[in-house]
A and B are shown apart, each in its own frame.
Chain A
Amino acid sequence: DAGVIQSPRHEVTEMGQEVTLRCKPISGHDYLFWYRQTMMRGLELLIYFNNNVPIDDSGMPEDRFSAKMPNASFSTLKIQPSEPRDSAVYFCASRQDRVGSTGELFFGEGSRLTVL
């Protein structure tokens, strides 16, 4: 399998612009997670989906952030408008829940966002 695929790998934008990050989970995985990583706050869970339905979005920092999962193979995280404090690495991860599964997550390589 190709693993979790994220795009873009790097994004540099100016304050106020809209940013869209994309994720393709591993085929057959029914959970998808969005994390944010910064030096100050470490790894933060933003939102996660089960079978394309958002389960917990309590980690989404504010209304400027939104996430969708229109189908089992695609999810987006959107920031509108972006601010410099949104600069971080955003990770997508997926997981399969079947009999015998152990709960581990598979991570993408991340999208590094810089907001100037």
Chain B
Amino acid sequence: GDSVTQMEGPVTLSEEAFLTINCTYTATGYPSLFWYVQYPGEGLQLLLKATKADDKGSNKGFEATYRKETTSFHLEKGSVQVSDSAVYFCALSDRGNTGFQKLVFGTGTRLLVSP
């Protein structure tokens, strides 16, 4: 079945450091890929998405490129801020014959950014 694997956390960085959170997936169809972010005490919010190979999703300085050849969707940011401290979830939604199936989430990676 479909699955998502993301790096374990926590990831601890100083402000203005470069961020990479790795995510790889397995899927039988043609998935859309997502990164969701969860700030403390809140629900999950969509951060960015990509719907086909080589698409780059971007938002708030974060980027991720849909790499079909390596089945990856790594999240990057050039300069993190303390306010980026949150849990980040990689996810996929596979497109079957009847439309999108349920969203499959990774286990989440906690990011801690210190001043």
Contacts and interface: CB of A to CB of B under 8 A. Distances in A.
A110 interface: yes
B25 interface: no
Interface stretch (A12-20, A63-71, A76-84, A97-105): A97-105
Contacts of A56: 102
A48 B89 CA distance: 20
A42 B105 CA distance: 10
A97 B100 CA distance: 7
B100 A101 contact: yes
Interface residues of B, number: 20
A103 B43 contact: no
B20 interface: no
Contact of B103 (A101, A105, A109, A110): A105
A107 B108 contact: no
B46 A104 contact: yes
For the complex, would chain B's binding face be called helix, strand, loop or mixed by DSSP majority?
strand
A43 B108 contact: yes
Contact of B49 (A93, A97, A102, A110): A102
A56 B104 CA distance: 14
Nearest to A59: B102
B89 A103 contact: no
Contacts of B34: 104
B108 A102 contact: no
B40 to A, nearest CB: 12
Contacts of B102: 33, 45, 48, 56
**Shortest beta-carbon contacts, A-B, top 6:** A103-B93, A103-B100, A107-B43, A107-B44, A109-B43, A103-B32
Given A102-B51, A107-B43, A108-B43, 5 more contacts: A42-B108, A43-B89, A45-B102, A95-B100, A107-B36
Interface of B: 32, 34, 36, 42-46, 49, 51, 89, 93, 95, 99-100, 102-103, 105, 107-108
